[in-house]
Amino acid sequence: MSKHALVQIQKINKFYGSNHVVRDLTLDVREGEFLTILGSSGCGKTTTLRMVAGFEQPTDGKIFVGGVDMAEKEPYERDVNTVFQSYALFPHMSVFGNIAYGLRMKRIPKKEIRKRVMDILDLVQLGGFERRMPAQLSGGQKQRVAIARALINRPKVLLLDEPLSALDLKLRKQMQLELKRLQRKLDITFIYVTHDQEEALSMSDRIAVMHDGMLEQVGVPKEIYEAPASKFVATFIGETNLFEGMVSAVDGDAVSVAVESGTICGRAEGFQKGEVVAVSVRPERMRYSTSPVKGFTIQGVVREQIYVGSVLKSIVVLPNGHEIKLERLAGDVLPMDGPVYLSWQPQDARLIHPRDQEVYHAVETAVME
């Protein structure tokens, strides 16, 4: 897999009227990688994808595909194909007609069209379906046709806009694996848009998390999960417990933070005493004890315990009402309504600098109000 950036998105902005949908987005997509743009609905991820496809023009900024500036290129001139959320199969054409469409538009000889369509039908496991009409297909089959149709022109980049969102859970899991398999086999760069963090974590080589039109973090799934760069990423990807406080002591990489309910600590570099920070701790990293642990003084009351088979989920309420989630391999049961001390291995906490932008946003909202 080459490290060469195939798609370069450089400082693009998109306005719809006064609505700033994509803000200063810069992102490189490497050749042959499976990159997922992850974000909640309305975060600008689909708009970004549509700008790469050419259906929307960035208000400013540039997009390059294979080193070529896309500014003047119409969608039909781009080496990029899209799988739409709604599939958008042509209802008046058979499966064969749908898949062959891109080749017909490129004026490929009939014989070759036939061969290529048959090959790709086998690849998406729809051999023998070429005469069916879209109305005679199930959701999963329609999905495969849509993917085959987009892949037939052998694009440099395949864009997928929440392609699995209309499928039921079981089928979705199966299609996730299949998409990943296809991507590896064809060695085509995929840009995949989804709001489903689990899907993103399981399929992607890298994930770009978007929020409010801005890129929050780009990284491999492990990085995104274990070292979230912002409060949004920490809370959006998986479950987490977030504490906000002020750095009270720094000793090497050991950082103590004073929060409302007491003192906690973590391990990180680049923090200074007096700085405002957020601390994120995953539920499965949380520990409890009946006696205090060095460095931690937060204490709470066990409120709820749910046994879900493999793990035991507990909720501990802090004196300020803040609910803390714990997840442990099923074992001993916590004393219900009893006081417990919370702690964790310092390296399991993730300290996050509040973003300048977040401060800016806070000020902006305050001024607006």
Partner 1 sequence: MSKHKFRASTLPVLATVGPVSLWLAFFVAIPLLYVLVMSFCSIDENYNVVFQFTLANYRNLLDVNYLQIYVQSILIAFFATAFCLVLGYPFAFLISRTFQSRKTILYMMVIIPFWTNSLIRIYGWRTFLGASGWLNRALTALHLIDSPVEFLFNRGATVLGMAYVLFPFMVLPLYTAIEKLDQSQLEVSADLGARGGATFFNVVLPQTVSGVFSGCIMVFIPSLGYFYVADILGGGNSDVIGNLIERQFQSGNNWPLGAALSIILIAVTLLLVKLYQKCGGDMQSLGV
Under rule CB under 8 A, residue 163 binds partner 1: no
If one asks whether residue 164 binds partner 1 (CB under 8 A), the answer comes out as no
Q: Which is nearer to partner 1, 153 or 343 (CB)?
A: 153
Query: Which range in 16-24, 73-81, 174-182, 211-219 contacts partner 1 by CB under 8 A?
Result: 73-81
82 binding partner 1? (CB under 8 A): yes
Give me the amino acid identity at 8: Q
Whether 255 contacts 271, CB under 8 Å:
yes
Between 149 and 282, whose beta carbon lies closer to partner 1?
Answer: 149
Look up residue 287 and give its two tokens.
């520990």
Binders in 25-54 for partner 1, by CB under 8 A: 53-54
The residue from 16, 55, 307, 360 that contacts partner 1 (CB under 8 A) is 55
Name which position in 16, 90, 307, 360 contacts partner 1 (CB under 8 A): 90
Closer to partner 1 by Cβ: residue 151 or 302: 151
> What sign has the CA pseudo-torsion 241, 208, 33, 153?
positive
Instruction: Considering only the stretches 31-39, 90-98, 297-305, 320-328, report the one whose residues sit in contact with partner 1 under the rule CB under 8 A.
Output: 90-98
Chosen residue from 18, 41, 72, 76 binding partner 1 by CB under 8 A? 76
Let me know if 337 is exposed, middle or buried by CB neighbors in 10 A (0-12, 13-18, 19+). exposed
Backbone angles phi, psi at 207, to 5 degrees: -120, 135
What are the start-end ranges of the E strands in 311-353? 311-317, 323-329, 339-343, 350-352
**C-beta of 107: minimal distance to partner 1 in Å?**
10
Is 75 among the residues that bind partner 1 (CB under 8 A)? Answer: yes
Q: Which stretch binds partner 1 (CB under 8 A): 33-41, 78-86, 179-187, 288-296?
A: 78-86
Within a 10 A sphere around the Cβ of 81, how many other Cβ atoms? 22
Give 70: exposed, middle or buried? Use CB within 10 Å, 0-12, 13-18, 19+.
Answer: buried
Q: What is the largest CA-CA distance in the chain?
A: 78
Instruction: Determine if 149 is a binding residue for partner 1 (CB under 8 A).
Output: yes
CB of 75 to partner 1, least distance (A): 4
Among 101, 190, 243, 288, binds partner 1 (CB under 8 A): 101
Give the total of residues touching partner 1 (CB under 8 A): 22
* Count of H-run helices and E-run strands, the chain: 9, 20
Calpha distance 194→324 (Å, rounded): 28
- Asked if 63 is part of the footprint of partner 1 (rule: CB under 8 A), the reply reads no
User: Is residue 217 a contact residue for partner 1 (CB under 8 A)?
Assistant: no
Least CB distance to partner 1 at residue 362 (A): 35
Strand blocks (E) in 39-185: 60-65, 68-69, 80-83, 157-161
DSSP one-letter code for 178? H
Distance CA 271, CA 255 (A): 8
Binding status of residue 153 toward partner 1 by CB under 8 A:
yes
Q: Is 102 in the site for partner 1 (CB under 8 A)?
A: yes
Contacts with partner 1 in 103-142 (CB under 8 A)?
105-106
Helix axes of 110-123 and 139-151: crossing angle, nearest 10 degrees:
130
**Shortest Å, Cβ 241 to partner 1:** 41
Distance between CA 339 and CA 288 in Å, rounded?
10
Residues numbered 292-321 forming contacts with partner 1, rule: CB under 8 A: none
Give the β-pairing of 311-317 and 323-329. antiparallel
Residue 88 sits in the site that holds partner 1 (CB under 8 A): yes
Positions that interact with partner 1 (CB under 8 A): 53-55, 74-76, 80-82, 84, 86, 88, 90-92, 101-102, 105-106, 149-150, 153
